[in-house]
Amino acid sequence: MKKKIILLISGKGTNAINIINFFQNSDLVEVSLILSNNKNSPIFEKIKKYNVPAEFFHLKDFDDEVFEKIKNINPDLIVLAGFLKKISSKYIDFFSKKIINIHPSLLPKYGGKGMYGKHIHKKVIESSDKETGITIHFVSKEYDSGEIIFQKKLKINEKDDASLIEKKVHTLEYEYYPKIIASLLNS
């Protein structure tokens, strides 16, 4: 029987599409559902060529209707792929060690509320950091503080700006997030 994952997104869904592509012909893993709290996300157009259901939901329904829907699917893993809402303890308690997130910095640096995307990369530049990277971690009750599963570093060159760092970080995300998901499901 295939392992089931659910993807939660708030943005464009580029990581979600990358994950779907990675597992598209897998005999071991299926993306059972994509849930987005952004009704204008390009994911709804992009997903049409795949056999994966995608649904919009209102944030007010996240801890009730959406929770019940996810519970009924009974996923092996819930994957946050650019999902910007804090996950409530209801989810953390019920899906213990089954919710993961990817963060575009080397946590604990630049974690917490409001720290995502370009906000992080600008901080990296402002702080004159010599390296940055990605962190894949279990989701806990506090923003970006769950147990770290995997980190990958990249060097920052003097001429790098926030946009270039963002591109480099996305490349790492696309390469490693699906592989880590696969390794967690196969362990």
What are the catalytic residues? Answer: 103
Measured CA to CA, the distance from residue 7 to residue 164 in angstroms comes to 26
CB atoms under 10 Å from CB of 163, counted, come to: 10
Residue with tokens 């994509």: 34
Helix (H) or strand (E) holding 167, with range, is helix 162-185
Count of alpha carbons within 13 angstroms of residue 132, beta-carbon side: 32
DSSP state, 18? H
